[in-house]
């Protein structure tokens, strides 16, 4: 996994044009998220995300992100409603160009998984680690189109043998970024 992450980082950074001079102080992103859960072998086609980044300089920012992904499956004739909500924060490294900004980020925080069936629900909040990459394509001085991808690992409880369990998820995102200040 480390080799893949480093390869993605190098590709994204190499694709960005030369650095631009003006860096927004704050970037607010909102959009659609499609998630794939490896352990459940299920796709979550309904999802959203929102993030805010405060840029410390032209290449480093602090990021906070929230998101939700949803799926309903048939379980013995009843609807089983699954959801995952995340509350994450971390660092974003960016390479800014005249028409685009490529970035890599590493976020950590909490992931709340929930299952509802027949009026009963079970939820659990665990530690989540989410590295990701993305590309913002400038539409105007104050707005950009964003595409991105993330890998998320949610660390669960220990199993009967004392080994820590985990869930792996892949996520693709598309949305808008609003750039504020210079």
- Give residues with Cβ within 8 angstroms of 23, minimum separation 6: 55, 57, 58, 96, 182
Q: How far apart are CA 10 and CA 46, in angstroms?
A: 30
Confidence (pLDDT) at 4: 61
Question: What tokens were used for 135?
Answer: 């590309």
Backbone phi and psi for residue 8, each to the nearest 5 degrees, phi listed first: -60, -40
Confidence (pLDDT) at 17: 42
CA angle 29, 42, 45 (to 5 degrees): 35
Backbone phi and psi for residue 13, each to the nearest 5 degrees, phi listed first: -70, -35
Ordered mean pLDDT values, 10 residues apiece, the chain (182 residues)? 54 45 90 95 96 96 98 91 97 95 98 93 95 97 96 87 87 97 84
Q: How far apart are CA 87 and CA 96, in angstroms?
A: 26
- Find out whether 98 and 20 touch, Cβ atoms under 8 Å: yes
- The neighbour count for residue 134, using CB atoms within 10 Å, is 22
* CA neighbours closer than 13 Å in the CB half-sphere of residue 75: 11
Q: Residue 51 forms beta bridges with which residues?
A: 29, 65
Confidence (pLDDT) at 156: 86
Enumerate the domain spans of the chain. Answer: 2-180
Question: What tokens were used for 62?
Answer: 């602090």
Q: How far apart are CA 68 and CA 171, in angstroms?
A: 11
The conformation of residue 8, written as its DSSP 8-state character, comes to H
pTM of the model: 0.83
User: Which CATH architecture describes the domain 2-180?
Assistant: Beta Barrel (2.40)
């Amino acid at each position: 996994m480390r080799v893949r992450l480093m390869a993605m980082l190098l590709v994204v950074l190499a694709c960005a044009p030369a650095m631009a001079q003006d860096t927004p102080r704050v970037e607010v992103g909102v959009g659609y998220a499609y998630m794939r859960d490896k352990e459940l072998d299920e796709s979550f086609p309904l999802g959203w995300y929102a993030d805010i980044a405060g840029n410390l300089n032209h290449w480093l920012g602090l990021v906070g992100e929230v998101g939700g992904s949803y799926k309903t499956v048939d379980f013995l004739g009843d609807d089983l409603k699954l959801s995952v909500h995340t509350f994450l924060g971390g660092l974003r490294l960016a390479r800014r160009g005249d028409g685009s900004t490529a970035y890599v980020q590493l976020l950590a925080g909490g992931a709340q998984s929930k299952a509802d069936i027949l009026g009963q629900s079970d939820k659990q909040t665990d530690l989540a680690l989410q590295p990701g990459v993305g590309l913002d394509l400038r539409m105007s001085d104050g707005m950009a189109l964003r595409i991105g991808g993330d890998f998320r690992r949610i660390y669960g409880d220990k199993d009967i043998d004392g080994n820590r369990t985990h869930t792996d998820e892949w996520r693709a995102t598309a949305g808008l970024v609003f750039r504020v200040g210079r």
